[in-house]
Amino acid sequence: MDRKSRTGLDRLRARGRTAGPLHGLVVDVLPFVIGDSDDDTVRMAVSVAEGTMVHPGHAARVEQLQRVRMLAALALTLRHGGVHVIVRDEAAVREEVEAAQLIYGRLPIDVGILLPGQSSTQRRLAHACDVTVGVLDAFALDATRDQQIAVLGDGVSRQVPAAVVSDPGSVMILGINRQFEQFDKLNSEVTSVGELRNAANFARTLQDGVHFVADGEGGSPRLTQMGREKTHDTFGVVQPSGGRAMLFERRVCEAVWARRVVKTQDYDVVDGLVVRLPSGTLSEGSGFACGLRQAIEVKEGVAITDIMYPLAVTSCLEYFRRYQVVGGTSTAELMFTAELEGLFGVRVWDRRTTEEREVEQRHARDMARYLAFNQELARWDGAAGDHRNAFQALRDDLRNPSERGRAVGRLIGADFDEDQQTRHVEALDVLDEAIGVYNAVAQYGRMSLYPDHRGQYEQTLTALQDSLWADLREEISRWGCNQR
């Protein structure tokens, strides 16, 4: 790129930081990109950059829509200093990056590739680019992991305010209830080995169909009301909806589950360690890491490993709500307008013909039950998402030296003086315990109360959150902060 062109682009960067209309910015970048862009392409690019999902109809060319997304991404990175381009799979990542390189040519615009399995150095470099192209899993997992970094800003990702999505149906709707989790052990012992053994012994007294029901062959069991009452009576539970009581119920269910799964079919013991078998019924994730593995270890009489708690959880819906602007393009038969607008708050510009929309209506009727199920699950996760955000906001403040004192002051009504500032690591440990218990109980509560008792589930989570906040205040108050 010659000096004159570079100077012109620098001026566009400076102009992009202003609050002027995006249409003018998109038009002004056209002389700097390779290839022609007709008026229709420009209109769609502006709409995408303004936060609209566009379906141009099935007559639109793939190359035109790639140009639409790349023009929108260029305008957004000039305005915001970065943009994420999120596509459905790794093959689409390669295609999108090739299109970016072709359209941007020799422009000094860095395009990064973000894929699962990359090293932390590769991911950090990709996030630092002007335009970062990747799959949802890679973006969401990095954001979730970075919530656990001790020092704010030391993670691999950076939060940019804008995203451009290719095929929102596949990326956003079909995976709307996916959860991205970061596990770690807690510094304190929330569930003791003795409690695990008590749960295992108690599980032997429970009857299938009376005290618990199971979801299919090898599926997770749920306590019936009679099973919950027997658990509470046996162990003297005074507050059944309390966090510790719900967490112990989860341990009982895991002990029942451990009795139902089969060695050499669902799992095996290798060198004293319990391992899942790919052909079995045990899936990787919170069910196995946060207690089930340990219940099987008690059953097998091997050393009990540390329980790994979900210290950071981000749903697909929560992740996209981090962006201020989400736009994109679709060529799918299903546009999912109601879901994009109602759940994600994204505008939709559907330019398809009447005939094309009739095809969607037929397919939508076929998918109505599936979509209703996913919408209901999203509603169930609403309260949990709000509570997790409140915990995370405190965690962010504790990691930020300039906000740490004020955050603790608001929490406990005391001054957090300079001597206490060094105790923020202890505060993070206390907070992590609260978050780990909350997420473990929230997962168990949804499993045990869905689909008929959403009100009870939300009341339980609210009571749990209030209890954990009270515990946090009490613990941090013991440090001798100056009471106001």
pLDDT in tens, 108-125: 899 999 999 999 999 999
Task: Tell me which amino acid residue 222 is.
Answer: R
pLDDT for residue 404:
83
pLDDT for residue 484:
47
Contact (CB, 8 A) for 237 and 249: no
Across the range 377-396, mean pLDDT stands at 89
Across the range 171-192, mean pLDDT stands at 87
- Among 272, 261, 350, 279, smallest CA distance to 304 is for 272
Q: How far is the C-alpha of 153 from the C-alpha of 3, rounded, in Å?
A: 34
- Among 257, 163, 275, smallest CA distance to 214 is for 257
Q: How far is the C-alpha of 326 from the C-alpha of 346, rounded, in Å?
A: 7
Q: Tens digits of per-residue pLDDT, 24-47? A: 889 888 998 999 999 999 999 999
Higher-confidence residue: 19 or 244? 244
Contact (CB, 8 A) for 173 and 230: no
Which residues sit opposite 170 in a β-bridge?
none
Contact (CB, 8 A) for 444 and 292: no
Cis check for the bond before 451: say yes or no (omega within 30 of 0). Answer: yes
Residues 6 or more apart in contact with residue 317 via CB below 8 angstroms: 176, 177, 343, 344, 378, 381, 385
Kindly report the number of other CB atoms within 10 A of residue 210's CB atom: 11
Please provide residue 82's backbone torsions phi and psi, each rounded to the nearest 5 degrees. Answer: 165, 155
Alpha-carbon distances, residue 23 vs 8, 17, 47 (angstroms) = 17, 14, 9
Element at 151 (helix H, strand E): none
Across the range 248-269, mean pLDDT stands at 94
Alpha-carbon distances, residue 116 vs 48, 140, 184 (angstroms) = 26, 11, 20
pLDDT greater than 80 at residue 250: yes
Confidence band, pLDDT 50/70/90 cuts, at residue 422: low
Q: How far is the C-alpha of 384 from the C-alpha of 310, rounded, in Å?
A: 13
Confidence band, pLDDT 50/70/90 cuts, at residue 174: confident
Q: How far is the C-alpha of 224 from the C-alpha of 221, rounded, in Å?
A: 9
Which tokens in the block code for residue 335?
């546009």
Mean pLDDT for all residues in the chain: 88
pLDDT for residue 3:
56
Element at 239 (helix H, strand E): none
Q: What's this model's pTM, rounded to 2 decimal places?
A: 0.89
pLDDT for residue 305:
94
Confidence band, pLDDT 50/70/90 cuts, at residue 381: confident
Instruction: Give Cα 195 distance to the centre of its chain.
Output: 31
